[in-house]
Chain A
Amino acid sequence: METVGKSYKRVDAWGKVSGEAKYANDLMPKDCLQAKVVRSTIANGLVKSIDISEAQKVPGVVKILTCFDAPDIQFPTAGHPWSVEAAHQDVPDRKLLNTRVRQWGDEIAAIVAEDNVAAERAARLVKVEYEEYEPIVTVEQALAPEATVLHPDIRKDNVFAHNSFKTSPDYDYEEAKKKAVEKYGEENLIEVSETYRTPRISHCHLEVCTSWAYVDTNGKVTVVSSTQIPHIMRRVISQALGWPVGKIRVIKPYIGGGFGNKQDVIDEPLNAWLSIQCGGRPVCLELSREECVAMTRTRHACKGVVRGLATKDGKLLAREADIYTNKGAYASHGHAITSGITTNFKDIFHDEYGCRADGYSVYTTSAVSGAMRAYGVPQAAFLADSLADDLCYKGGFDPLKFRMDNCVPPGFVASTGITYYTYSLKECMRRGAEYIHWDEKRREYANQTGPVRRGVGMSFFMYKVGVYPISLETSSARMILNQDGSIQVELSATEIGQGADTVFSQMAAETLGFTMDRVYIISTQDTDVAPFDTGAYASRQSFVSGKAVKKCALKMRARILDYASYMLERPAEELMIWQNNICEKIHIPGGVKEEADPYADFLDAGVKEYDIHDLPNGEAAILRDTGVEKDVKPGKVLLSMKELSENAFYSLDRSEHITAEVTSHCKENTFASGCCFVDLEVDMPLGQVKVNNIVNVHDSGTLLNPQLAEAQVHGGMAMGLGYGLTEELLYNEQGRPLNDNLLDFKIPTAMDVPNLHVEFVQMDDPMGPYGNKALGEPPAIPVAPAIRNAILHATGVSMKEIPMTQQKLVAAFKEAGLI
């Protein structure tokens, strides 16, 4: 490929380093009013009355609206594609402002004022009378028989949903154990039965959740928001207000990170309603960092009660898990994430007899859990990889060999039908082990004494690409030829920092035969203009929206060549586009040799073999076609794109505005995979962990832009470090968040992150539009369990929960008699 696979600089980099890239609040008009949400000061209860008389007297206050003024409409907030089947629709369980308070900080009123000081003064003067119930912060409290049912109109108790996955319908762990005892003898078996826990964490994107809204001259309520999902947001605002979709317009400029939090509709419907209530004046609703940490969305805290059985020589026989997730006050993404945890726990290993995983998502009076980078799989990986290493530790076998022997096999077909086509999981592990010097270090660190000890550990994962067939995957793309022969690409698969706009531009250039400097991508999505796409999530864009780009580029190319054929009076089949020119097409046997990428030194060009299982006849070839003919090369230049486009626009004979627009309904999916290896030291008396060496190895198919791919992995690794060691949103007994700011919620600083090493195993995947698979989310998955397992190797102490804070480590080392 010419353009795809090369490390082009980001198309938005110049704007971002020059400080000129505009984010939502940078575009706010001067006369914008400021809104402040009045939040409940109890975690569970009912608002009986609200007295706003004092608040209204504050100079500068424009409007105060309470839960008693808000429309009686419940709406869902998840950034999922809508479903035409009622049973699969997201659950509408919240209102713009709520009288029934279900978390500390629930939205009960809103102040609109001339400035933030007036709004905050007024908010402090609002007097609220509550009927108060017991806070229900934990899953255990929510499941207690006496617990208040938080959503009696939706569910009879606080279990939002429960599902059960088994490798086969008749699988039962106890039965499997009986069979194993008969076959292997009880003395040859190892069993581990444990409860592992993962924390609730905040995304901590640097730009807080913010929006501003106004009613435009055409009567449309227009919301400028920092969101990953402009088109979904438009639908949700429509549902929340009871307005038709056509009367809603959402604009998404550059956004300062999302990581899944902005794959949810936060306060934008409220913002829209506040503007409407203020006669359409522009109103800004910017959340504080504290609100953003504790009152938007979080990663589900998860408890896994698990059992695993293996033979003494390291064969995994059977597992089971009961997994409880803390859903928080509202449904948000429903049960989807919990379901992701259970299936991934089950699928990542192959058990001789089988595996069962039950998932329960439970309403509590705490922050709402929603989407966050890798959508449940980090939790699944912690459960599965902790269990694996505890089995290994007990049985005395090597964790790497255990995974090589028992991991998901090539060609694996999930219960959803998703098939693992290009399989590099084992190659990733081999590469990771080689980099970290696994065998050497396992031996070197085997018998340590003293207060500071070293260890190596690993973790691995697989991750589905996009959401098909669980949900709809659909994407549209539009291309327009400009008068100068450059091309304009329009999509609603949003740039949120991950580099989507850059790789889409590369894809368009690749398939069209353009150079990158002739491709302009529209980075701001405006739902009035931009074609439909569900947005940035699920590591779906380069795969799903990438297919739309390819399909659109093929259509566009055909239209350009058709016009060239008219101008040159030659059949289109004899022509090709090469570097923005119409050229003669010359057939060459053997194809075109590709130039080496300057950043290719960390790529493995050696691995090209893969297993394709169950791929329908002929489909492989079609799917793998990048739209670039491999056995042709350009001949004589016949026409420049500028000449062609000028004619197409202004020809008196045949004026034709060359555009293309397509919808790509994606019905393919596959798995990406990878692993993390760490070498660390533990200072036991201080409970401090220092990572001395770390590597993530990823199997994400063909890399679209190796340098950006590597950068994205770095970020995920740092996020994984925080997840493993320091990050956790805490509550007091009243259900009030304790550490809702960037000082107390500990994301890593530059001094907390070690040098990060990344490798890739590249295989051309038949499902991806350019051989590519998911990469955005996976890097965050394996780091925390790898650290956990390295601590086990270093100290012999098996940590049951993350974050493995210094305090927890010291307590564990004391209990083990190590300090």
Chain B
Amino acid sequence: MYDIGKYYEASCAQEAVRLLQEHEDAEIISGGTDVLVKLRSGKGAGGTLVSIHEIPELHGVDRRPDGTLVIGPATCFTDLTNNPLIQECVPYLGEAVDTVGGPQIRNQGTIGGNICNGATSADSAATMQTLNAVMILQGPDGIREVPVTEFYTGPGRTVRAHAEVCTAILIRPEDYVGFTGCYMKYGKRASMEIATLGCCVRVKLSADKKTIEEARIGYGVAAPTPIRCRRTEALLAGRSADDPQIYDLIGEHVLEEVNPRSSWRASKEFRIQLISELARRALREAIARGKDGESHA
């Protein structure tokens, strides 16, 4: 059994917010794949859990008339990957979350949890950074929007307040229309893996497919939080997609924008090698996909 002090099943986000307000020791549980693991290790043992597992409106993906994608945070990774809107608009996000853990975990873990747990190694993180995703947080004082690029405050820490519940993740059309992209997860094995490094590169090619109009580069584990490499993105903008030098450019310049750490899982030096090499390969793939006419509208 899990050492749960009190357990509440919220029927809606508002109720969840109220329960969180009432219980200072409360933690939100959604898919359970992080919270229960932590609880088992003794962290938060005896505390309160507020479950949002059974709130229907937090599940699924929708598209607003303006093209904005609205992702329910309790949507599990598998559902995200298989969702027709995701496949049509941001398939690389579906691919990215298809590298989380293994198939069963992907049936359980949720996209909201993946972001809200604040992990730099989250497999959605690099891609969400490049998508300028917006977190909708509902709290006691109402609803606020926080760009995911401003969401993280440190390892395992975010701006989400104790009594705030993420009710949606938005992806705006200007952040995906016309882009192709690729997420590369690097781990020690091919499945059941936490990322040693995650890199997402997305490009928007010109109509003739010859020029990179816009590039976006996001990383997980290249710093204590997920990051963007905006200066390198700016250097790539306007460059020829056929210029072989762009690969050295990205491979070298991203290194000025990252801050990887050494841990027993991987050394800083090794991560630097991966940061550079994965950027090259992800850019190559993103451009190749763009040239194949796969861009998404």
**A–B: direct contact at CB < 8 Å:** yes
A-to-B contact residues, CB < 8 Å: 115-117, 120-121, 124, 685-687, 726, 730, 732, 738-739, 742-744, 746, 748-752, 805-807, 810-811, 814, 819
Q: Is B42 an interface residue (CB 8 A)?
A: yes
How far, in angstroms, from A685 to B3 measured CA to CA in the complex? Answer: 45
Q: What are 21 A-B pairs at a CB distance below 8 A?
A: A116-B1, A117-B1, A117-B3, A120-B42, A120-B45, A121-B3, A121-B46, A685-B277, A726-B189, A742-B192, A744-B194, A749-B102, A749-B191, A750-B191, A751-B191, A752-B190, A806-B188, A806-B270, A810-B270, A811-B269, A814-B273
Q: Is B186 an interface residue (CB 8 A)?
A: yes
How far, in angstroms, from A422 to B34 measured CA to CA in the complex? Answer: 55
B181-215: contact bitstring with A at CB < 8 Å (1 yes, 0 no)?
00000101111111010000000000000000000
Closest to A813 in B: B273
How far, in angstroms, from A749 to B189 measured CA to CA in the complex? Answer: 7
A residues in contact with B277, CB < 8 Å = 685-686
Given A746-B188, A751-B190: 4 more A-B contacts, CB < 8 Å? A121-B45, A121-B46, A742-B192, A749-B189
Verify B45–A807 contact, CB threshold 8 A. Answer: no
Which of B1, B46, B189, B265 has the most C-beta atoms of chain A within 10 angstroms of its own C-beta?
B189
A residues in contact with B269, CB < 8 Å = 811
Closest Cβ of chain B: how far from A743's Cβ, in Å? 6
A residues in contact with B46, CB < 8 Å = 121
Q: Is B255 an interface residue (CB 8 A)?
A: no
Closest Cβ of chain A: how far from B103's Cβ, in Å? 11
Closest Cβ of chain A: how far from B82's Cβ, in Å? 19
Q: Of B2, B42, B190, B266, which contacts A749 at CB under 8 A?
A: B190
How far, in angstroms, from A209 to B110 measured CA to CA in the complex? Answer: 32
Given A120-B45, A730-B264, A738-B264, does the pair A751, B1 have CB atoms closer than 8 Å?
no
Closest to A686 in B: B277
B1-57 contacts to A, CB under 8 A, are: 1-3, 42, 45-46
How far, in angstroms, from A740 to B176 measured CA to CA in the complex? Answer: 41
Q: Of B186, B188, B265, B266, which contacts A726 at CB under 8 A?
A: B188
Closest Cβ of chain B: how far from A206's Cβ, in Å? 14
Does more than half of chain B's interface fall in helix, strand or loop, or is it mixed?
loop
Q: Is B267 an interface residue (CB 8 A)?
A: yes
Closest Cβ of chain A: how far from B122's Cβ, in Å? 14
Verify B3–A120 contact, CB threshold 8 A. Answer: yes
Verify A124–B42 contact, CB threshold 8 A. Answer: yes
B75-133 contacts to A, CB under 8 A, are: 102
Closest to B266 in A: A807
Verify B273–A685 contact, CB threshold 8 A. Answer: yes
Q: Is B258 an interface residue (CB 8 A)?
A: no
Q: Is B237 an interface residue (CB 8 A)?
A: no
A residues in contact with B196, CB < 8 Å = 806
Q: Of A730, A732, A751, A805, which contacts B188 at CB under 8 A?
A: A805
Closest Cβ of chain B: how far from A225's Cβ, in Å? 24
How far, in angstroms, from A648 to B81 measured CA to CA in the complex? Answer: 68
Verify A686–B192 contact, CB threshold 8 A. Answer: no
Verify B191–A752 contact, CB threshold 8 A. Answer: yes
How far, in angstroms, from A743 to B34 measured CA to CA in the complex? Answer: 13
B residues in contact with A116, CB < 8 Å = 1
Closest to B3 in A: A117
Q: Is B274 an interface residue (CB 8 A)?
A: yes
B residues in contact with A121, CB < 8 Å = 3, 45-46
Top-10 shortest CB links A-B: A751-B190, A749-B191, A807-B270, A751-B191, A685-B277, A752-B189, A117-B3, A738-B264, A117-B1, A746-B188
A residues in contact with B270, CB < 8 Å = 687, 806-807, 810-811
Closest to B274 in A: A686
Which of A685, A687, A738, A748 has the most C-beta atoms of chain B within 10 angstroms of its own C-beta?
A685
B-to-A contact residues, CB < 8 Å: 1-3, 42, 45-46, 102, 186, 188-194, 196, 264-267, 269-270, 273-274, 277-278
Q: Of A743, A749, A806, which contacts B194 at CB under 8 A?
A: A743
Q: Of B2, B3, B42, B267, which contacts A807 at CB under 8 A?
A: B267
Closest to B192 in A: A749
How far, in angstroms, from A387 to B187 measured CA to CA in the complex? Answer: 30
Closest to A121 in B: B3
Closest Cβ of chain B: how far from A642's Cβ, in Å? 49
How far, in angstroms, from A467 to B3 measured CA to CA in the complex? Answer: 47
A residues in contact with B274, CB < 8 Å = 686
Closest to A749 in B: B191
B residues in contact with A807, CB < 8 Å = 266-267, 270
Closest Cβ of chain A: how far from B125's Cβ, in Å? 18
Verify A732–B3 contact, CB threshold 8 A. Answer: no
How far, in angstroms, from A744 to B192 measured CA to CA in the complex? Answer: 9
B residues in contact with A730, CB < 8 Å = 264
Which of B46, B102, B193 has the most C-beta atoms of chain A within 10 angstroms of its own C-beta?
B193
Closest Cβ of chain B: how far from A208's Cβ, in Å? 14
B residues in contact with A743, CB < 8 Å = 192-194
How far, in angstroms, from A115 to B270 measured CA to CA in the complex? Answer: 45
Closest to A814 in B: B273
B residues in contact with A124, CB < 8 Å = 42, 45
How far, in angstroms, from A810 to B278 measured CA to CA in the complex? Answer: 14
Closest Cβ of chain B: how far from A746's Cβ, in Å? 5
How far, in angstroms, from A738 to B191 measured CA to CA in the complex? Answer: 20
How far, in angstroms, from A120 to B190 measured CA to CA in the complex? Answer: 34
Closest Cβ of chain B: how far from A467's Cβ, in Å? 35
How far, in angstroms, from A807 to B269 measured CA to CA in the complex? Answer: 9
How far, in angstroms, from A507 to B273 measured CA to CA in the complex? Answer: 57
B residues in contact with A811, CB < 8 Å = 269-270
Verify B42–A751 contact, CB threshold 8 A. Answer: no
B residues in contact with A117, CB < 8 Å = 1-3
Closest Cβ of chain B: how far from A755's Cβ, in Å? 15
Which of B3, B196, B270 has the most C-beta atoms of chain A within 10 angstroms of its own C-beta?
B270
Closest Cβ of chain B: how far from A73's Cβ, in Å? 32
Closest to A34 in B: B1
Verify B1–A115 contact, CB threshold 8 A. Answer: yes
B residues in contact with A685, CB < 8 Å = 273, 277
How far, in angstroms, from A685 to B270 measured CA to CA in the complex? Answer: 10
How far, in angstroms, from A686 to B274 measured CA to CA in the complex? Answer: 7
How far, in angstroms, from A814 to B189 measured CA to CA in the complex? Answer: 22
A residues in contact with B191, CB < 8 Å = 749-752
How far, in angstroms, from A116 to B42 measured CA to CA in the complex? Answer: 12
A residues in contact with B193, CB < 8 Å = 743
A residues in contact with B186, CB < 8 Å = 686
B residues in contact with A687, CB < 8 Å = 270
How far, in angstroms, from A743 to B193 measured CA to CA in the complex? Answer: 7
How far, in angstroms, from A117 to B40 measured CA to CA in the complex? Answer: 10
A residues in contact with B266, CB < 8 Å = 807
B residues in contact with A738, CB < 8 Å = 264
How far, in angstroms, from A819 to B295 measured CA to CA in the complex? Answer: 33
How far, in angstroms, from A807 to B264 measured CA to CA in the complex? Answer: 11
How far, in angstroms, from A732 to B262 measured CA to CA in the complex? Answer: 14
Which of B42, B266, B269, B277 has the most C-beta atoms of chain A within 10 angstroms of its own C-beta?
B277
Closest Cβ of chain B: how far from A730's Cβ, in Å? 6
How far, in angstroms, from A493 to B264 measured CA to CA in the complex? Answer: 41
How far, in angstroms, from A312 to B105 measured CA to CA in the complex? Answer: 56
Closest Cβ of chain B: how far from A551's Cβ, in Å? 47
How far, in angstroms, from A689 to B155 measured CA to CA in the complex? Answer: 31
How far, in angstroms, from A742 to B45 measured CA to CA in the complex? Answer: 22
B residues in contact with A739, CB < 8 Å = 264
Closest Cβ of chain B: how far from A237's Cβ, in Å? 29
A residues in contact with B42, CB < 8 Å = 120, 124
B residues in contact with A748, CB < 8 Å = 189
Verify A751–B189 contact, CB threshold 8 A. Answer: yes
How far, in angstroms, from A686 to B186 measured CA to CA in the complex? Answer: 9
How far, in angstroms, from A115 to B2 measured CA to CA in the complex? Answer: 11
How far, in angstroms, from A819 to B272 measured CA to CA in the complex? Answer: 13
A residues in contact with B1, CB < 8 Å = 115-117
Verify A732–B192 contact, CB threshold 8 A. Answer: no
How far, in angstroms, from A751 to B191 measured CA to CA in the complex? Answer: 6
Closest to B251 in A: A685
B residues in contact with A819, CB < 8 Å = 273
Which of B42, B273, B274, B278 has the most C-beta atoms of chain A within 10 angstroms of its own C-beta?
B273
